[in-house]
Amino acid sequence: MVFSSSIFLFVFLPVLLAVYYVTPPRWRNLTILIGSYIFYGWWRLDFLALLIATTLWNYFLGLRIVAAPTRQRAKRWLTLAIVGNLAVLGYFKYSNFFASSFSDAFMGGAPLSPLFEGVILPIGVSFFVFQAISYVVDLYRGDAKHADNLIDFAAFKALFPQLVAGPVLRYKDLEDQFANRTHTFEKFGEGATRFMQGLARKVLIADTAAPIADMFFAVPDPTFVESWLGLTAYAIQLYFDFSGYSSMAVGLGLMMGFRFTENFKYPYISRSVTEFWRRWHISLSSWLRDYLYIPLGGNRKGVARTYINLFLTMLLGGIWHGANWTFVIWGAWHGGLLAAERAAGIKGNEKRPIWAWAGTLLAVLIGWVLFRAVDMSSAIDMYSGMLGLHGFAIRDLYAWQVSGLSLLGIALGVAVCAVEPWFDPQAPATSPQPFLTRRVAYLSMAASVFGVLAIGKLVAESDSPFLYFQF
């Protein structure tokens, strides 16, 4: 089940919200838990069992961590918890990759045991494993208290708005909300607006641009125009697909009284790669900083070690995204850029000239080729096309397949990227209050109109999965 589906919009969500609001407050977390298990189990019940198993594993080992008589004993329980979480992630996400690599290197491509090949990736496993790791680490550090009861913790782990594609939430940021959260018409209305806004971003922009990206990343020897058109379409598709999901997740949380962290803040206006990673997938960036970069030593062990830590953090972030050499090199690309910017004294919050924006966007787009390509051969083919090595103009074989609607989706995405910072509800306080109020009102009205259009498009067409479900 996905947010952008008729079964979710017209059956699951209204029924769950109705049951949630007629349930006495003390039982609402249980209602969330049951609803979230139905949401996740709709796809496969065996992977629902995996989610439940990881929940129990981290809950009870968390109890061991906080009850340990010594720091050394607590560290042993923490190590066991992390190893268990990484084993789940490693098996389901990387078995196919390592089995294939081993077979190609040592067995001439002969198949291995089915136990290590053809493993199906559970939706959202990367997110709920990272979520679990942050929980046990925060308990060990003393940054969070253990969940009061298993129901609350299980509801946190399974919270359906963010379960399958983030944001990567931390229990310490939500523990108070699980114990006591407010429900108002204003908060519900804000949540409904955010949900409709996210639905419009996904259906009207991301899905509309997708056919061009899919076509030109699949054609052999793409020309200059084909390569850049396909890459632009993918950059728009990826951003509006993932930011649309995150907006819907925030909206659904508000409708049930939760306030989640924001996951995107206009990343394509960034004027450095450092700034880009403060605006793109913010919950993952902060997770990598707090649970990987800082434990590696951060910037506390000298200049050279700082560069190495930045590089390793992004390299491992790339590996987290997928079991493919393209993701490894994508992570290395961004790690190298972050280290280079640190060496140049770029902090990511300073005013930089317009050419810095163009250079940052080019660097990000170069990385997106690796992120989208199915393998390194396809990525190199795309890079060759971007340099014009396969010709310049779009070929007749593909020109007729480029629909005006898809081009309109790309153009609309570019336009939204340019103007959306102006609609930021957290605008500077120096702006006149009536102006800010009107601006937010315009955004709410636009979200409602385009959200209705998105629902109409969904009904007329078929469901469309989110890109980050594969991660």
Pick the range with the lowest mean pLDDT from 111-125, 139-153, 158-172.
111-125
What are the residue numbers of the active site? 321
pLDDT at 346: 87
Q: What is the dihedral of CA 79, 81, 82, 84, to 10 degrees?
A: 120
Which residues neighbour 370 within 8 Å (Cβ) at sequence distance 6 or greater?
Answer: 326, 327, 329, 330, 333, 379
Percent of the chain at pLDDT exceeding 90: 52
Pick the range with the lowest mean pLDDT from 93-97, 294-298, 312-316, 401-405.
93-97
Q: Name the DSSP letter for residue 145.
A: P
Residue 347: pLDDT band with limits 50, 70, 90 = confident
pLDDT at 21: 94
Highest-confidence segment of 94-103, 189-198, 432-441:
189-198
Cα–Cα distances (Å) from 380 to 211, 214, 229, 308, in that order, read 21, 17, 16, 27
Residue 425: pLDDT band with limits 50, 70, 90 = low
| Helices and strands counted in the chain (H then E) | 20, 0
Q: What is the dihedral of CA 245, 251, 256, 257, to 10 degrees?
A: 130
Cα–Cα distances (Å) from 289 to 18, 144, 252, 285, 317, in that order, read 39, 18, 27, 6, 10
Pick the range with the lowest mean pLDDT from 3-17, 207-221, 245-259.
3-17
pLDDT digits (tens, 9 = 90+) for 391-410: 999 988 888 888 888 999 99
DSSP, collapsed to helix, strand or coil, labels residue 389 as strand
Q: What are phi and psi of 165, to 5 degrees?
A: -150, 25
Residue 278: pLDDT band with limits 50, 70, 90 = very high
* Contact indicator for 24, 13 with CB cutoff of 8 Å: no
Q: How far apart are CA 238 and CA 178, in angstroms?
A: 32
pLDDT at 437: 54
Question: Mean pLDDT, to the nearest integer, of 432-458?
Answer: 61
How many whole angstroms from its chain centre is CA 164?
9
Residue 111: pLDDT band with limits 50, 70, 90 = low
Q: How far apart are CA 180 and CA 55, in angstroms?
A: 22
pLDDT at 453: 67
Residue 91: pLDDT band with limits 50, 70, 90 = confident
Question: Mean pLDDT, to the nearest integer, of 192-209?
Answer: 89
Pick the range with the lowest mean pLDDT from 137-141, 199-203, 254-258, 458-462.
458-462
Highest-confidence segment of 180-184, 237-241, 321-325, 442-446:
237-241
Nearest to 141 by CA among 59, 57, 65: 65
pLDDT at 353: 87
* Contact indicator for 1, 38 with CB cutoff of 8 Å: no
pLDDT at 164: 79
Residue 102: pLDDT band with limits 50, 70, 90 = low
Amino acid at 390: H
Question: Mean pLDDT, to the nearest integer, of 436-458?
Answer: 63
pLDDT at 276 over 90: yes
Pick the range with the lowest mean pLDDT from 6-20, 152-166, 248-262, 451-465.
451-465
End-to-end CA distance of the chain: 16
pLDDT at 275: 94
Question: Mean pLDDT, to the nearest integer, of 183-200?
Answer: 89
pLDDT at 441: 62
pLDDT at 202 over 70: yes
- Which two three-digit tokens encode residue 38? 């139905």
pLDDT at 447 over 70: no
pLDDT at 12 over 50: yes
How many whole angstroms from its chain centre is CA 193?
21
Nearest to 55 by CA among 142, 155, 122, 138: 155
Average pLDDT, the chain: 86
Percent of the chain at pLDDT exceeding 70: 85
DSSP, collapsed to helix, strand or coil, labels residue 44 as coil
Which residues neighbour 323 within 8 Å (Cβ) at sequence distance 6 or greater?
Answer: 93, 94, 96, 97, 98
pLDDT at 243 over 80: yes
pLDDT at 179: 85
pLDDT at 429: 47
pLDDT digits (tens, 9 = 90+) for 44-88: 888 899 999 999 999 999 999 999 989 999 999 999 999 999 998
Q: Is the peptide bond before 167 cis (omega within 30 degrees of 0)?
A: yes
pLDDT at 311 over 90: yes
Q: How far apart are CA 322 and CA 96, in angstroms?
A: 11
Q: How far apart are CA 183 and CA 141, in angstroms?
A: 32
Q: Name the DSSP letter for residue 391.
A: B
